[in-house]
Amino acid sequence: MHLPPLAQDFLAWLSLEKRYSPHTVQSYSLDLHQFFQYLQSQYDGIPLESVKASHIKSWLALGLEGRKKAEDARKGAPTPASAVTIRRKMSALRSFFKFALRKGVVQQSPMARVTGPKLPERLPVFVDEMAMEKLTQPPAGEESPLFSDDFAGVTQCLIMRLLYHAGIRRAELIGLEDRSVDISNGQIKVLGKGNKERIIPVGTVLLKDIRNYFDKRQEAVPGYSGKAMLCLPNGKPVQAWDVYRTVRRVLERVTTLKKRSPHVLRHTFATHLVNNGADINAVKELLGHASLASTQVYTHNTIEKLRRVHKQAHPRG
């Protein structure tokens, strides 16, 4: 079914005025499609102004039940993702009904009486400092380096270094352009969520890698005129999947962590800064977080580490 005009206007508003990421807009669009399909099939498509909290709760409950059945069918316990998914759907509806309220379509938001499932507390997964040092040398007992010395290897090395040294997101990485890098001032300009720009200082090691990459790119792809800074040997821009595959391959050789995604390197960047005494507000700015609460989760890793040390070493621990 097609979304009602108001929902279409809402998605356009998110994209054009609020500048939400395409991924978020797509997720909200899917949630709204599912919600209005549910209203059509279960309540004969009642008008928006007649939607109550009970309608929304029944839809959310259906989602939770469906997820649990799917998990049970695989003989596994329900995963935390079920609660995360439901809360995202709630966020989509909450934003949509606020939009409808401003447009005068509804007199009050039914979401005011809807509460979501509690999220389990999960600490960020990160790679320890000794493992990250292996990015510059082969893992113990292996003769082959992590990266080849051709253009593909240089690109993969820079991908890893940028994610770890700058703490940027995967989308921010593939969005980098040549003009994003200010080598003379030792900094890069990153376009983050909501099209918010931030400046990240970079060290001499990363600057050297970037210079080397530009030289190698000129040799491998003469006359390259693409918009993206990072490209493949065929001249096509590096895509999200290329980044994920590179990170997974490299981390498989330096760590035993089960989770080996690009975001793990962002967590690693932040955790290492906090563990080495960085001011939490400075880390917040480097990560581009809108709220300090999002950054404070990295202090929990430090506390957990201290707790383990205390328990192991203190005579009364």
Residues tagged active-site? 169, 193, 263, 266, 289, 298
CA dist., res. 262 & res. 269, Å (int): 11
* 199 Rama sector, left if φ>0, alpha if ψ -120 to 50, beta otherwise: beta
Rounded (10°) CA dihedral 55, 60, 65, 71: 160
Contacts of 50 (CB under 8 A, 6+ apart): none
CA dist., res. 135 & res. 165, Å (int): 11
* 76 Rama sector, left if φ>0, alpha if ψ -120 to 50, beta otherwise: beta
Strands (E), 180-243: 181-182, 187-191, 197-201
What crossing angle do the helices spanning 240-254 and 151-166 adopt, rounded to 10°?
A: 80
